[in-house]
Amino acid sequence: MIYVTDTHSLVWFLTGDNNLSAKAKSVFEDTEKGNSLIIIPTIVLAELLYLCEKKKVQDKFSEIIEKLKKGMNYITYNLDVDIIIECKNLIKIREMHDKIITATAKILGATIITKDKEIKESNYVRTLW
């Protein structure tokens, strides 16, 4: 199965935060075992960098990037023209970061791992939480 992660889901998994749902945690654990694939839009990495800088833990960002590079089942997906064009059609989602994440999932036919209410209620793509 192919999933796209939003920023909170990825951060909560990496930090062991209890905000991550049991279903979402299970998908990340399956991915770690090689049973699924998680796509990470580059906007998620940009948000992650911002959070690390804000909390003054930039070294954590480097560690995360190295872990993702080593993992065969995490793939980054670049923001490209097709994603931007798809964002134009996602009028039910206001926040640009969320549009980019949703457009990525829509183009790939993937399920988004997200708690975000607006993404879930838009019904543009399948979501898991």
pLDDT at 77: 96
Per-residue pLDDT tens listing for the chain (129 residues): 999 999 999 989 988 899 999 999 999 999 989 999 999 999 999 999 998 888 877 778 888 888 788 777 999 999 999 999 999 999 999 999 999 999 999 999 999 999 999 999 999 999 999
Model pLDDT, residue 61: 87
Rg (CA), the chain: 14
Pairing between β-strand 111-113 and β-strand 2-5 as defined by DSSP bridges: parallel
CA distance to 18, 56, 95, per residue, from 41 (Å): 23, 23, 15
Residues in the chain: 129
Q: What is the value of pTM for the model shown?
A: 0.91
Average pLDDT, the chain: 93
- Domain parsing of the chain, residue ranges: 2-128
User: Dihedrals φ, ψ of 43, to 5°?
Assistant: -65, -30
Residues 52-76: pLDDT tens digits? 888 877 778 888 888 788 777 999 9
Is residue 110 within 8 Å of 2, Cβ to Cβ? yes
- The architecture CATH gives domain 2-128: 3-Layer(aba) Sandwich (3.40)
- Check residue 65 and give its pLDDT: 86
Residue ranges of E strands in 12-129: 37-41, 74-77, 111-113, 127-128
Which burial class, exposed, middle or buried, applies to 20 when counting CB atoms under 10 A from its CB (0-12, 13-18, 19+)? buried
What per-residue confidence (pLDDT) applies to 109? 97
Predicted pLDDT at 107: 97
- Paired tokens of 56: 């003054």
122 by Cβ neighbours in 10 Å (0-12 / 13-18 / 19+) ranks as middle
